[in-house]
Structure 1
């Protein structure tokens, strides 16, 4: 199995099926579609430490890692959540990929010359903040140091092993109680990091369509309240 080959084929292979899955499985609508803003996030995969010298075409999924950040707890929206680098499109952005990469540079300090854009996935609704989000899949062919650029926006920037994200022991269903309502999403508990909500759904969906995800028990619940 070549993880990089899987990633490169994912946008074309899964596009139509994924769009149907979004409509049926998520069953989410934007509260104000006429004013929704366009945004993009960068799903940046890389060879995990110890595998950087290997032939990229021969790497397996469990030999990769993924760039994530934790949003600052002082933010007004999605405070403290683990997320992919990204943000809203700006007038100067050529497309969603350019916006995702620009935001990643602004948030993590990575060197964009080392990033290969693989392709864009279907647009995902994010009802809570009224965004239409395009996930942009990318390969970090030449990694560079990353760090928190602006502490007002991010609390931490880190890379997390795909091997641990795929481990069924780290998979749960997040059950959030807010304002008397219960919201559920696929979630991951890895190294003390709790990944849920939009990012948890996006990871779950990506691993599913790549064919990387082993069976896990969605009845394992992690209950919390905001």
Structure 2
């Protein structure tokens, strides 16, 4: 595994985005992805003493003008033994440390710690305004990046992350893989992927990003599936939500 280089490669470079990724970068920079999120995700919660960052890392060939069929996004499965968000599918990420230069540095450091990602293979492109986790209200800064060079990834610590994979965007936008889930008065978009259910914070960010980039396809949003039953039938193995 590559050693990390804290503080390196932390400048956003939107001009370096491949042509097919530019619609997403423009949508993030213009605030369109943020505005497409729920009010609960966009507005500040009570907790302001902690901040976090996550990495939405997109991989794919640089040359096509349109979204290539092989384009993918990096996701992880949090170990069911974790205290917080156990069993959930998530972007690599975590709490901002005092030593982090900025949110980009935090997202790349956390991605390295969780997946072994070499930050030298990554081009940071854009950063969303803060989003708030449903349960805690903590502000989280999603960083969108492009993997411009080959980079191996795997689960570094099985106690924290027991699966790391690249989810094809073509599969995520397939209507049969989209669903709306709900629990009590809450409802939100979700995805079926590799037997997992991607929902909550990650599902909301993905759904808004895919729609605002113009990559989403029409899908049935009128039927709401029970979240508890849907998770019980999945590979998530979530202990609570």
Give the secondary-structure state (helix, strand or coil) at the position aligned to 1:216. Answer: coil
Contact 2:27 2:33 in 1 (8 A): no
Say which structure is richer in helix: 1
Larger RCO, structure (CA 8 Å, separation 6 or more): 2
Cα drift, residue 10 of structure 1:
3.1
- Scaled by the length of structure 1, the TM-score of the pair is 0.85
What is the aligned counterpart of 1:5 among 22, 25, 30? 22
- Unaligned 5+ runs, structure 2: 1-17, 229-239
Q: What's the Cα RMSD here?
A: 2.1
CA distance in 1, matches of 2:68, 2:182: 28
Corresponding residue of 1:192: 195
- Unaligned 5+ runs, structure 1: none
Contact 1:61 1:162 in 2 (8 A): no
What is the 5 A alignment of 1:18-167? Answer: 18-22=33-37, 25-28=38-41, 32-35=46-49, 37-47=50-60, 52=61, 55-167=62-174
Per-residue displacement from partner, 1:38-73 (whole Å, max 9, x unpaired)?
1100000001xxxx5xx4353525330110000010
Aligned residues: 211
Say which structure is richer in strand: 1
Q: 1:68 to 1:34 in 2, by over 3 A?
A: closer
Per-residue displacement from partner, 1:6-37 (whole Å, max 9, x unpaired)?
2333332x32x444444xx33355552344x1
Contact 1:123 1:134 in 2 (8 A): yes
Contact 1:41 1:100 in 2 (8 A): yes
